[in-house]
Amino acid sequence: MRYLPQTQKARTEMLESVGVSNVDELFVQVPKKAFIKGKADLPDHQGELEIERQMLSYANQNINAQSNRFFLGAGVYYHHVPSSVDHIIQRSEFLTAYTPYQPEIAQGTLQYLFEFQSFIALITGQEVANASLYDGATSMAEAGLMAMRITKRNKVCFGNDIHPQYTEVMETYLRNNEGTSSYSISEDPSKIEDGTACVFIQSPDFYGKPHGYDEWRKTCDEKGALLVVVINEIVSLGMLPPPEQADIVCGEAQSIGVAMSYGGPHLGFFACREKFIRQMPGRVCGETVDADGKRGYVLTLSTREQHIRREKATSNICTNQGLCALAFTVHMSLLGEDGFKQLAALNHEKACDLTDKLTSIKGITLKNENFFNEIAVQLPKGKNAGDIVQQLADEQGIIAGYPADDNTILITATEITTENGIDTLTIALKEILK
C-alpha cells in the first residue's frame, strides 16, 4: 500500500467533513449487484522485491537483441541509444507531465515538440510536421483518411511493397468507412485508377529496396492523386534523398531513440505540405508570444480537433507519443548533421558486409541488388524461410530475420551489428542449408 498516503485518522476526519459514516455511503448510487463481494479474485499487494523477481523471470524467458545474434528488422530496428537520451526522458518533469493544456507551466514539453516537428520537417524535406502519432501503421492510415478528405475521393492505392501490417491497418480503417476501398499495383504506375485519393510508396520498401519519387510524382499529378511516402526506417533519410516530391510523408521514427519493446510504444510521425495543415490529424505545436511579448509555444490549430469539433473532427486522436518524441528529439540533437549522416552510412556499410558474407553461401541470392540496411535473401528451392528462422532461433538463439514469404528472409544490419555476429549467422545459415 506504499502508494497510498492517507492515514486512518485522516480518512475518519474526512468522512466526518463529508458527513457520512463510512466510505460505502459515497457509492450508494451504484447498483448493488455491481459490487465485488469482499475483494477481486486476484493476488494481494506485493513489495518491489517480489515483483522484480517475478518480472525478471518473465524477462529472462525472452531472447533479447543484446545477444549479438540479432538480425531482424521488417519495420522495427535495433539501434544504439545514447545514455543521455534515457536520462532525460526519465526526468520527472517530462515523464510525469500531462498533455500541455496549460502552456504557462508546460513550456518544456511544448518547446521540445516544436523542435521535434522541426527535425521531422527537415529530415523528410517537408514543410510542416505534427507532434507525433501512435506508430507507423496508424500514421499511414491517418494519411489515407486525410488524402480522402482533401481530394474528396474514396479509394487509396498501394503503389509498391508496403509493410503488410500497415496495409492491414489501413484496410481496417477503410472497412468502417462506407464506400471506401484500396487496391495494389505492384510498382506499375500505369495501373493507377481514376478517382484515386492517394498513392502510397514505401521507401525502402518492405523488402528493403530504396525508391525514387519523380515518376510517381508525375503520374500522381496526371491522375490528381496525392503522393504519400511511407518511411519505416527513418535512419535511411541520412543517406537517401528526402521525399520532397511527396504531399504527405508518414511512418515510423522508432529507430531514433526508442527501444523495440516488443512492438510499442513506438513513434509515428506525420509531415506534409503547409497548405494541408488544417486537414492534418493529431496534435500540433506552434510558436507565439506571451503577455510580455516573450517567445513561447502552445498547442494550436485545435479547431481541427475532437474536443472542439466533436463528430466533425479531422481525427479522434487525443494522446500522442510525447515521451517517444522527446527521446527522438534528444537523440537527433546529439547526432546533428554529421552524426545522422554517419549513422546512416554505417548502417549501409554493415549491410554491405552482411550481403557479401551471405551471398558467398551457395544457393543464396538477393531479391534486390539495391538496399539500405535490410536485404531480402532468397533461399535455394525447397528450403522454407519460416522453418529456417525457427530452427536458428530454437537451436542457436539466432534471431535471423523475418520470413517474408516461403522463400525469402529479410535480414537487417545496423550500427550495432558486429563482424563476429555476421560470421555467426553466415556459418549457421551455411550449415543449415547444406
Residues 160, 152 contacting (CB under 8 angstroms): no
Of the candidate residues 21, 68, 87, 195, the single one contacting another protein (CB under 8 A):
87
392 φ/ψ sector (left φ>0, alpha ψ -120 to 50, else beta): alpha
Site for another protein in 216-275 (CB under 8 A): 237-242, 252, 259-266
Residues 360, 26 contacting (CB under 8 angstroms): no
**Nearest in space to 213 (alpha carbons), one of 189, 184, 239:** 189
Closer Cβ to another protein, 220 or 280, answer by number:
280
Q: Decide: is 207 part of the binding site for another protein (CB under 8 A).
A: no
Q: Decide: is 393 part of the binding site for another protein (CB under 8 A).
A: yes
Roughly what angle, to the nearest 10 degrees, separates helices 107-124 and 322-358? Answer: 30
Stretch that binds another protein, among 6-14, 149-157, 193-201, 423-431 (CB under 8 A): 6-14
Site for another protein in 317-336 (CB under 8 A): 317-324, 326, 330, 332-336
Of the candidate residues 152, 190, 194, 293, the single one contacting another protein (CB under 8 A):
293
Closer Cβ to another protein, 101 or 222, answer by number:
101
Q: Decide: is 285 part of the binding site for another protein (CB under 8 A).
A: yes
Element of type H or E holding 9: helix 8-18
Stretch that binds another protein, among 21-29, 185-193, 218-226, 377-385 (CB under 8 A): 21-29
In the numeric block, which cell numbers belong to residue 301?
Answer: 490549430
Q: Decide: is 343 part of the binding site for another protein (CB under 8 A).
A: yes
**Nearest in space to 198 (alpha carbons), one of 185, 211, 210:** 185
Question: 247 in helix, strand or coil?
Answer: coil
State the first-to-last Cα distance of the chain, in angstroms, to the nearest integer.
59
Q: How is 366-427 classified by DSSP, letter by letter?
A: ES-S--SSEEEEEPPTT--HHHHHHHHHHHH--B--EEEETTEEEEE--TT--HHHHHHHHH
Stretch that binds another protein, among 216-224, 337-345, 376-384, 426-434 (CB under 8 A): 337-345
Of the candidate residues 21, 181, 288, 365, the single one contacting another protein (CB under 8 A):
288
Stretch that binds another protein, among 130-138, 148-156, 376-384, 423-431 (CB under 8 A): 130-138
Q: Decide: is 427 part of the binding site for another protein (CB under 8 A).
A: no
Stretch that binds another protein, among 152-160, 187-195, 223-231, 341-349 (CB under 8 A): 341-349
Residues 166, 134 contacting (CB under 8 angstroms): no
Residues 256, 116 contacting (CB under 8 angstroms): no
**Nearest in space to 79 (alpha carbons), one of 325, 428, 335:** 335
Q: Decide: is 152 part of the binding site for another protein (CB under 8 A).
A: no
The contact mask relative to another protein for 97-116 (x = CB under 8 A, - = no) is: xxxxxxxxxxxxx-xx-xx-
Q: Decide: is 90 part of the binding site for another protein (CB under 8 A).
A: yes
Residue 91 DSSP symbol:
S
Please, what is the minimum distance in Å from the beta carbon of residue 192 to another protein?
22
Of the candidate residues 231, 284, 358, 432, the single one contacting another protein (CB under 8 A):
284
Please, what is the minimum distance in Å from the beta carbon of residue 6 to another protein?
5
Closer Cβ to another protein, 51 or 427, answer by number:
51
Of the candidate residues 21, 68, 91, 427, the single one contacting another protein (CB under 8 A):
91
Q: Decide: is 8 part of the binding site for another protein (CB under 8 A).
A: no
Q: Decide: is 48 part of the binding site for another protein (CB under 8 A).
A: yes
Cα angle value 143/148/153 (rounded, 5°): 150
Nearest-angstrom CA–CA distance, 284 and 117: 8
Q: Decide: is 405 part of the binding site for another protein (CB under 8 A).
A: no
Stretch that binds another protein, among 149-157, 307-315, 357-365, 426-434 (CB under 8 A): 307-315
Stretch that binds another protein, among 76-84, 222-230, 376-384, 421-429 (CB under 8 A): 76-84
Stretch that binds another protein, among 184-192, 220-228, 292-300, 423-431 (CB under 8 A): 292-300
Site for another protein in 162-201 (CB under 8 A): 163, 165-166, 168-169, 171-173, 175-178
Cα angle value 87/88/91 (rounded, 5°): 95
Roughly what angle, to the nearest 10 degrees, separates helices 385-396 and 419-432? Answer: 120
Check whether the bond before 265 is cis (ω within 30° of 0): yes
Closer Cβ to another protein, 140 or 225, answer by number:
140
